[in-house]
Amino acid sequence: MKKIVLFLMLAGILQAQEIHKVVYDLTTANIKTFEQRLLKGIVYTHTYYENNSKKLDAVVIIHGGAYKFFLKDVKKSEFKNEQEVINAQTSLKNSLEELSDTYNIEFLMCNVGAVKHKLKRDNIYSFVKMTPSAVIGLINFQNKGYAYVPIN
């Protein structure tokens, strides 16, 4: 009986991993900043916590100049002259899908800005959800205890 109780206690301790929560306020229009601070930064941060037996729960709120990184076809938007983004589109898509699928990163786009920029839902990656506004999304997650990290 003691062994069973000890086993159950140990199992409970292992499952009670500490969870670190972060909401990224993504506004950058700069592709280098986007790649370094978001794409590489989240993987590094996730790996750090995983290697220390902890979990990372990350959410990205998309607005400002960052919309263009989440479009299926940049040429069908006001960002059609952003050649550097167009050239990197396949690579960016693969990295973003990996963050969504492998690392369970949640992406939320500001609906107010999407409407303002005339972005069509069918031209936004399917793993991106909408939030009524960036401010509402940021408030909601910060009120749930998520640390705020700007990427501008």
Summarize pLDDT for 75-125 with one digit per residue, the tens.
999 999 999 999 999 999 999 999 999 999 999 999 999 999 999 999 999
pLDDT of 94: 97
- Assign 113 to helix, strand or coil: helix
Q: What is the mean pLDDT of the chain?
A: 93
pLDDT of 47: 96
Is residue 85 within 8 A of residue 68, CB to CB? The reply is: yes
**Rounded to whole angstroms, how far apart are CA atoms 31 and 11?**
44
Residue 143's pLDDT band, with cuts at 50, 70 and 90, is very high
In sequence order, the 6+-apart residues with CB closer than 8 A to the CB of 14 are none
Residue 149 has pLDDT above 60, yes or no: yes
- What dihedral angle (degrees, nearest 10) is formed by the CA atoms of 41, 47, 53, 59? 40
**Nearest one of 135, 10, 145, 13 to 62, comparing CA atoms:** 135
Domains of the chain: 18-151 (3.40.1260.10)
- Assign 149 to helix, strand or coil: strand
